[in-house]
Amino acid sequence: MKRKLFVLLAIILASPTGQALACATCMGAKDSKTTAHMAIAIWVMIGAVMSVLGGVSAFGVHLWRHASIPLEPHEQLIDEDLEKYD
């Protein structure tokens, strides 16, 4: 068991760095237009997710604020207990 662990550790330490194993598309070549377009696509997706989360948060704040507002007088009549008039 110790020998297998030692061999695995030796393989991991002797292997080249991750950038040497990746292609230019995955790691991003400095002069590639694909890298720039992927960066823009990532920022657009982050913007879309953040706008949806912002909308959900704004609606939650709206509901939280309006939950503490007292009812209008005409709405209070709707909630009145009418059993005493029977």
The tens-digit pLDDT sequence of the chain (86 residues) is 888 888 888 877 776 655 555 566 566 667 778 778 888 999 999 999 999 999 999 999 999 998 888 877 777 667 667 777 76
In order, the DSSP letters of 26-81 are HHT-TT-HHHHHHHHHHHHHHHHHHHHHHHHHHHHHHHHHHHTSPPPHHHHHHTS-
Please state, in angstroms and rounded to a whole number, the distance separating the CA atoms of residues 9 and 1: 12
Domain edges within the chain: 31-66
Q: Say what the pTM is.
A: 0.50
pLDDT at 86: 65
